[in-house]
Amino acid sequence: MCRLLAGVSWSRRGSTLLGELALLVAEAAQGDPYLRAVTGGEDRHCHGYGYVLLARGPTGAWRISYERYDALSENVDEEEACRRNLEAAKGAAEKLHGLLRAAEEAVLVFHVRRAGRREPRGSLNAHPYSVTAATPRGAAVLYLAHNGGLRKEELASALGVAAEAYTDSNLLALWIAKRVEEGVEPPVALAQGYRYAKSGYDVALLVVEDRLRYASPRLLYAAGMAPGLDEARRRYYAPVAFEAQGAVGFTSSTILDLARERLGDADAWMRLLGGDEWGVYEASRAGLRRLHGLGSRLTQ
């Protein structure tokens, strides 16, 4: 479970908006009524955070910043780690806000985590995960962040690994990388991964291809959830799209509520996606383009 932001900007104004949304993600981590409704009491996403940011200014070269953190360790107990993680996530959001204000163009994935009871913890298990896949054109680095739950044992079996050694989202990243190495295009692999969804399937997938000299980033997003969830979980996992001047992307339901309070007139450029709109999208300066449905008949 998490709060998630994934977006693309191509102007200073759009980049600044991404930074403002990052601040709202960190605010949501400190108290989320949708999480409280699901858990019956706990409302903090305080099990670590992570982000990947590609930003460039007038020189045109991408600067890549990648960070993951979870304070829990053998010397720090659960409650103290929670407090430290919330402070660190706020600091990270403020750092991102500053970096983005100077960016002419940017791609951002920012994630704050609430881990399942039996899921691994620590900085190595914070999202987004980074996996490299060999491709005919060279190599692609995949950064994946996920809000939801997956059928972990099935994913681990498909990969031939021990389920307990990985988070379910890490397994999904490895599975998609494997499909890409088998020749499946990343948007198709992302859509196919929906077969393993047991709750939310809100997945940000940033694909950075190595063209031998120039990085080529592509932001994909799967927006949806498994059927049969109760009302509290449907509200929690509801995907939100935004299309503003100079920026597009996706985020979580709590951030929509906060944007209405903090940014003003958010409903003019942010909206909940209905079930008939769920699918795999690409976010770019051309807007949000739906590439595939979820559960559609794709080559397996």
Query: How does pLDDT run across 88-108, given as a tens digit for each residue?
Result: 999 999 999 999 999 999 999
> Which of 5, 32, 17 has its CA nearest to residue 251?
5
Q: What is the CATH number of the domain that holds 50?
A: 3.60.20.10
Q: Is position 299 within any domain?
A: no
Res. 209: pLDDT tops 50: yes
How many Cα atoms occupy the beta-carbon half-sphere of 215 within 13 Å? 18
Rounded Cα gap, residues 128 and 270, in angstroms: 23
Res. 51: pLDDT tops 70: yes
Q: Is position 120 within any domain?
A: yes
> Which of 275, 279, 298 has its CA nearest to residue 290?
279
Q: Is position 298 within any domain?
A: no
Res. 299: pLDDT tops 50: no
Assign 211 a pLDDT band (cuts: 50, 70, 90): low
Percent of the chain past pLDDT 90, that is, above it, reads: 89
Res. 293: pLDDT tops 50: yes
The reported pLDDT for the residue numbered 233 is 97
Res. 297: pLDDT tops 70: no
DSSP letter at 3 equals E
Q: Is position 67 within any domain?
A: yes
Q: Is position 300 within any domain?
A: no
The reported pLDDT for the residue numbered 213 is 61
Assign 25 a pLDDT band (cuts: 50, 70, 90): very high
Task: Say how many C-beta atoms besides its own lie within 10 A of residue 82's C-beta.
Answer: 19
Rounded Cα gap, residues 63 and 40, in angstroms: 42
The structural domain count of the chain equals 1
> Which of 134, 182, 187 has its CA nearest to residue 158?
182
Query: How does pLDDT run across 107-146, given as a tens digit for each residue?
Result: 999 999 999 888 999 999 999 999 999 987 788 999 999 9
Q: Is position 28 within any domain?
A: yes
Q: Is position 76 within any domain?
A: yes
Domain enclosing residue 258, as ranges: 2-292
Assign 61 a pLDDT band (cuts: 50, 70, 90): confident
Q: Is position 281 within any domain?
A: yes
